[in-house]
Homo-oligomer: A and B are copies of this chain.
Amino acid sequence: MRIIVDAFGGDNAPIEIIKGAALAVQTGVQVLLTGKRQEIEAIAAKEGVELNGITIVDAPDIIDMQDEPRSILKEHKNSSMAQGLRCLAAGDGDAFVSAGSTGAMVIGATFYVKRIRGISRAALAPLLPGEKGPFMLIDAGANVESRAEMLLQFAHMGSLYMTNVIGNGKPASVGLVNVGTEDTKGGELQKEAFALLKQSGLNFIGNIEARDIPAGIADVVVADGFTGNVILKLTEGVASTIMKNIKDIFYTNTITKAAALMLKPHLKEFKKKMDASEYGGAPLLGIKKPVIKAHGNADAQTIKNAIRVAAEFAKKDVISQIADAVKPLDNQ
């Protein structure tokens, strides 16, 4: 198994990416790093990172968070991300990981690697920590506007991934984010998507309210990309605001500091449970080969996890299952 990794994507690139790649090699995978070769080698030498098991494919350019996503096709076609996606398309590796710009990744993957036949849009599908284990949010923002047929495809893709990569083969439950649980709730998009999901053959549990998402009411939470992006970021925002407040309480005085010490092992466990970086990254579903978006602020450990997730994604061959599932949809 060989995973292609964009060495220059994300806030902590390239150093944390290189370190993460080296950690992943120790677990038995091979890594192909794309990016400025000399810089990678110099940093590895300086930081004492072993490059055994790591191949470098030179890419002279970087695409930034500030760059127009479409520039991955033109001005930044020689960026480490574009190069990595071309390597993936060419079969130089089994999956691709980047912590760089999501927008550029969606456009680059669609153009260089292509969508699965019959899939109209790729969707970003992060795993979030739920009370009963991780659940998938799809689409978390690859698309700003979505049609009902797209939501149906998101549901199929998410269900196959959760059932086969994360779950134990038991059909994942699918819920549609809506303003109420009744069948008739929502706007046109939700009403149409509800009708399609109802007759999809998926394990569809109906409309779900945002209130019930964190408790893990569904294994696959389906939303248009705008709503999904709000859900992803608000979850992060509320959690971090609360944890910051609790931390402040711990630091109030000697007594609270002592109490914090007494709770430490349990809080650590809870923090780990809440930590999305454990899941490594979000698959970009609908692309012909496995593509994983790691969090922009990924550190070495997160990158190592993202590489593990990418390897699992490639091993389980969910993509051909998605292609099979989409064929009958395509003929409708």
Contact = CB atoms under 8 A, between A and B. Distances in A.
Interface in A217-270: 225-227, 229-243, 245-246, 249-250, 252, 255-256, 258-260, 262-263, 266-267, 270
B242 A215 contact: no
Contacts of A267: 249
A122 to B, nearest CB: 16
A48 interface: no
B263 A237 contact: no
A210 interface: yes
Copies of this polypeptide in the complex: 2
Contact of A241 (B215, B232, B256): B215
B237 A210 contact: yes
A237 to B, nearest CB: 4
B177 A230 contact: yes
A256 B262 contact: yes
A170 interface: no
A179 B229 contact: yes
B242 A144 contact: no
Contacts of A215: 237, 241
A270 B249 contact: yes
A186 interface: yes
A46 interface: no
Nearest to A184: B68
Nearest to A65: B180
Given A241-B215, A267-B249, A234 B233 contact: no
A201 interface: no
A214 interface: yes
Contacts of A241: 131, 214-215
Contacts of A157: none
A145 B188 CA distance: 9
A238 B305 CA distance: 25
A5 interface: no
B270 A266 contact: no
A187 interface: yes
Contact of A242 (B210, B231, B232, B239): B239
15 contacts: A144-B186, A177-B230, A210-B237, A214-B234, A215-B241, A230-B230, A230-B231, A231-B234, A235-B238, A238-B238, A242-B274, A245-B270, A245-B273, A249-B270, A259-B262
